[in-house]
Structure 1
Amino acid sequence: MNDAVRTPAGLLQAALRADPARPLVTFYDDATGERVELSVATFGNWVAKTANLLQGDLGAEPGDRVALLLPAHWQTAVWLLACSSVGVVADLGGDPAAADLVVSGPDTLDAARACSGERVALALRPLGGRFPQPPEGFTDYAVEVPGQGDRFAPFSPVDPEDLALVVAGAEWTGAEVVEKASADAAGLGLTGPGSRLLSGLPYDSWKGVSAGLYSPLATGGSVVLCRNLDHLDDEALARRVESERVSATAVAR
C-alpha cells in the first residue's frame, strides 16, 4: 500500500476515484427522526470544505490537536476526515484545555470554553442547520462552512506515520488507523465492496469509530450510523436493517 492510501484521507480519495456516487454514510437520529444519506462525493465535498475551514480560517497546522466534543454523527465523521486531510490530531472527547482548537456540539459548549484557541460550535440540527443564536465565543460551523472551497490541498504533505487519532486516551498514527480498520473488517461482517454495516455504537472508543466510519471506508463499504438507537424496539430495528439493505450490525442493546 503506498502513502496515498495510508491515511484515512487517502482512503476517502481512493473511494472518490473508484465510485463517487455510491452511498458512504447514512445517518439516523432516532430522537428527532432525522435521516441523511451522503454519497462518497457529497461526503467528500463536506470534508473538503471543512478541511479548508480548518487549515485556512482557523489556521490549523499539522501536529495541532483538535478536541472533538461530538457524538456519533455524520458531521463528526466529516470532521475526522477533515482532520486527517490537514494532518492535525483528532482527539475525540479530548481535554479542551490541552487542545489547540476545539469543536463542540451544543451540549458541551461550557466545557469547550476551556480551550484558549479557536472554538467551533456545531448545532447538530437536521440538514446541518445553524444555531438560532450563535454561541458567544464560537465560530458557527454551519455559517462558515458553506462558503469554503470544494477542493482541498494541504499546505504540507500529511505523513502517515504522524499521530492522527486519539480515542479514550489511546493514540494511533494515520497508517495505524488504516491498518486497524482494515483488520477489523471481517470481525464486523464487512466482506468487501458493497457491504453495509449498521452501527449504533458511540464514538467514544476505537470499536465505535472503526465500525461507524473507518472500517466501512477502508473496505469499500458503507455505514448506517444510528444515534439514539435505544429509541427503537427490536421490530423497528429489524425493519431498518431490511429497508437499508444492511449486511451486518454493530449495536449495543
Structure 2
Amino acid sequence: MNIPAIELMTALRSGHATSPRLTWYGPDSERVELSGRVLDNWVAKTSNLLQDELDAEPGMRVRLDLPAHWKSLIWALASWQLGMETLLDGGGADFLVTDKPDTFQGQYDAVVAVALPALAMRWPGELPDGVIDYASEVRSHGDVFMAHADPDASGCALSGRDGQRHLHGDLLSAFATPHEEGVRLLVSAADGLEAALANSLGAWTKGGSVVLAHPDVELTEKLLAAERIHGG
C-alpha cells in the first residue's frame, strides 16, 4: 500500500531528481546540499537500517530527540516510509534517535546516536554499550528501500509536542504547511523540528525545495540571493 510519504519519496527521486531539494546551513560555515536523488538515497539507507538492523515494522514508534537539522528530516522521512510513528515529545517508544546518547539508557529496544556535523564518519568518542553509531552504520545499507510489510494509512505517523497526532494518510494534507508551487523556502531551525518538518513537507509536496538554517547562521542578503529564496 502506498502512503503519502512513499509517494513523496518517489516524486523526489524522479521529478527534477538532480535539482536541490534540501540545503542546510550550519555552524562553522557548514553547507550541505541534497538533490532529490541524494535525499532519497539517504532516506532509503536509513529505512533499511531501521528495517534490516533493528527489525522495525509499521506501527512501531521512534522518538526523534534531535534538533531541527537535515539529518533529523532524513530520519522522519525514513520512519514514515516504513509506516512507523515518530514522536517529538517524551512519550514511550521502541527506538530512540538522539544526538545525546549518554542521557538515555535502558528505556528503549535500541538507541541510535546521530553525530550532527556533516563530515562525521563516526561518533566522536566512545558510545555506551549497545548504542548504534548512525554515521558509521548507515553507509553500509542499500540505496533502494523495499518494505517487508505494507504500511497502514490509518496508522499514526506523528505525535507532536502539543500531543496532536497525525495519521499517515493525511500527513501531507493535514500536517504539512501549505506553500506555493515550486517555492524555494527558507526554514529557520530555531522554530524547532516540528515546524521544520511541516514546512519542508509542504514545500516538497508542491515541487519546491528547502533551505534549513541553524540559528547561529547569519542570513545575509548575499546568502538569500545566492540561494534564490523567494516566497513562502
User: Scaled by the length of structure 2, what TM-score is found?
Assistant: 0.91
Q: Where has structure 1 moved over 4 Å in runs of 4 or more?
A: none
Corresponding residue for residue 211 of structure 2 = 224
SS at match of 1:135: coil
CA, structure 1 residues 192+126, in 2 after alignment: closer, same or farther (shift >3 Å)? same
C-alpha RMSD of the superposition = 1.9
Query: Please, which moves more after superposition, 45-54 or 240-249?
Result: 240-249
What does residue 246 of structure 1 align with?
229
1:26 and 1:223 in contact (8 A); partners too: yes
Listed as ranges, the gaps of 5+ residues in structure 1 are none
Q: 1:21: which partner in 2?
A: 18
- Tell me, yes or no, if structure 1 residue 102 matches structure 2 residue 101: no
Residue from 167, 172, 175 that aligns with 1:173: 167
Measured in 2, the distance between the counterparts of 1:163 and 1:104 equals 21
- How far apart, CA to CA, are the structure 2 residues paired with 1:136 and 1:180? 39
TM-aligned CA deviation for residue 139 of structure 1: 0.5
In structure 2, distance between residues paired with 1:134 and 1:141: 13
Matched, 1:127 2:124: no
Structure 1 residue aligned with 2:70: 74
Q: Which amino acid aligns with 2:201?
A: Y
Shift of 1:26: 0.0
Aligned to 2:155: 162
Structure 1 CA distance for aligned equivalents of residues 158 and 191 of structure 2: 12
Give the distance between the partners of 2:17 and 2:191, measured in 1 at CA.
25
Higher helix share goes to which structure?
A: 1
Secondary structure of the corresponding residue to residue 120 of structure 1: strand
Alignment partner for residue 151 of structure 1, among 131, 139, 144? 144
**Structure-2 change in CA distance of 1:125 and 1:57 (3 Å):** same
Alignment correspondent of 1:113: 105
Q: How many residues align?
A: 230
* Unmatched 5+ stretches in structure 2: none
Q: How far 1:248 moved relative to its partner?
A: 2.9
What is the alpha-carbon distance in structure 1 between the residues aligned to residue 193 and residue 135 of structure 2? 27
Specify the alignment match of 2:40 in structure 1.
44
- Indicate the residue corresponding to 1:142 in structure 2: 135
Contact preservation (8 Å) 2:21, 2:34: yes
In 1, distance between residues paired with 2:126 and 2:42? 21
CA distance in 2, matches of 1:70, 1:206: 11
Q: Which SS does the other structure have where 2:125 is aligned? A: coil
Per-residue CA deviation, residues 186-226 of structure 1 (Å, 9 max, x unaligned), is: xxxx3213x10011044646433212x21111111000001
Using the size of structure 1 for normalisation, the TM-score is 0.84
Instruction: Using the TM superposition, give the Cα deviation of residue 46 of structure 1 relative to its aligned residue in structure 2, in angstroms.
Output: 0.5
- Asked whether 1:208 is paired with 2:196, we answer yes
Q: Does the CA contact (< 8 Å) of 1:93 and 1:204 recur in 2?
A: no
Amino acid corresponding to residue 217 of structure 1 in structure 2 = W
Residues in 2 aligned to 1:202 and 1:55: alpha-carbon distance in whole angstroms: 31
Cα distance between partner residues in 2 of 1:205 and 1:170: 15
Q: Provide the rounded CA distance (Å) in 2 between the counterparts of 1:175 and 1:200.
A: 27
Mapped to 2, the partners of 1:32 and 1:199 lie a distance apart of 19
What percentage of residue pairs aligned between the two structures are identical?
32
- Contact 1:26–1:37 (Cα < 8 Å) also in 2: yes
Q: Which residue is equivalent to 1:192? A: 181
User: Is 1:62–2:46 an aligned residue pair?
Assistant: no
